[in-house]
Amino acid sequence: MIYKIRAILDDQTDVFRDIAISSESTLEDLHNSLSQAFGFDGIEMATFYGCDQEWNQGQEYPIVDLGFEDDTVLMRDTPISSILTTDHPKLIYIYDLLQMWTFFVELAAVENDESSIDLPQLLFSFGELPSEAPEKQFKSEKGSSEDDFYGDDDEFGDEFDDFSDYSDADYDDYH
């Protein structure tokens, strides 16, 4: 089967690429295709995340095992068809974990493999990638304000409010 996939940059501008890839290819093959389609050099760390219909992040599929989790499933070990289906057509792709280039990847169509086109193949390119990755806004699910880092349920209460000025502290007492 041939998967036709659209990857859209998470930004206010319209930047996307459509590619065709074999359903038997791995996520690593998809990563290589996407990084090439967007003009990246392909040497940075990257990861995919499974997600639901509302793009909520799920299972991670990194390019390498960094040893943080015991049950890491790598891109190279994951056929695209095992996680990208018509019932679950969405993934989140992050290229360069320091710059955080973030893309919404969606299965647009599935076709029978009756043609003899070379895969993977860039089908369509729209928009120019900005010179820097768009800035991400990370928000707490609890909705705490920027001024109240620990939210409304700060377990310490107002106990430490007296320490806003350290000029009165006598550091000699702590030697």
Domain-embedded: residue 145: no
pTM for the model stands at 0.76
User: What pLDDT was estimated at residue 172?
Assistant: 61
The per-residue pLDDT string of the chain (175 residues; one tens digit each, 9 = 90 and over) reads 999 999 999 998 999 999 999 999 999 999 999 999 999 998 999 999 999 999 999 999 999 988 787 788 999 999 999 999 999 999 999 999 999 999 999 999 999 876 667 899 999 999 999 989 998 765 555 554 455 545 555 555 555 555 555 555 565 655 5
Largest Cα span, the chain: 81
Domain-embedded: residue 30: yes
Secondary structure string (H, E, C) spanning 126-153: ECCCCCCCCCCCCCCCCCCCCCCCCCCC
Domain-embedded: residue 108: yes
Question: Sheet harboring 90-95: ordered strands across?
Answer: 57-62, 46-51, 90-95, 101-111, 2-9, 16-22, 121-126
User: What pLDDT was estimated at residue 69?
Assistant: 76
CATH number at residue 77: 3.10.290.30
Domain-embedded: residue 18: yes
What's the total number of domains in the chain? 1
Distance CA 60, CA 72 (A): 8
Domain-embedded: residue 141: no
User: What pLDDT was estimated at residue 37?
Assistant: 97
Domain-embedded: residue 131: no
Which domain, by its residues, includes 13? Answer: 2-126
Domain-embedded: residue 138: no
Domain-embedded: residue 40: yes
